[in-house]
Amino acid sequence: MTSASKSTSRRKTPASPAKTAGSPAKRASASGSGKKAARAQITPERRHEMIAEAAYLRAESRGFAPADPLHDWLTAEQEVDARLAGQTQGADAPVH
């Protein structure tokens, strides 16, 4: 056999779907289920920002009247943690 006949007799096999679709994370995000996973993976920095915003909104809602800022923070922390826990359990409560 010549080298030309060898190259024409070999056929490429089609790539498997797993190889062409990308990583599992890419497949999950492409299917839409990645959105729930992304919501469940809140970084500590983002959680801190969410708590700070919620505490600020609590103070703003009472017109910034003097109060205990620690109480605002701890209450906001409980609210944020409850919302995040609800999301990891499949609840669709919006997180601000």
Span 34-85, pLDDT tens digits: 445 545 589 999 999 999 999 999 999 999 999 999 999 999 999 999 999 9
Is 0.95 surpassed by the pTM of this model? no
pLDDT level of residue 27 (50, 70, 90 thresholds): very low
The residue ranges of every structural domain in the chain are 43-96
Angle of CA points 92, 71, 78, to nearest 5°: 25
The pLDDT-based confidence of 21 (bands split at 50, 70, 90) is very low
Residue 94 has pLDDT above 70, yes or no: no
pLDDT at 37: 54
State the average pLDDT over residues 7-15. 52
Structure-block tokens of residue 48: 């801190």
* 88 contacts 37 by C-beta, under 8 angstroms: no
Which uninterrupted H or E stretch holds 15?
A: none
Band (20; pLDDT cuts 50, 70, 90): very low
Encoding tokens for residue 12?
A: 């490429």
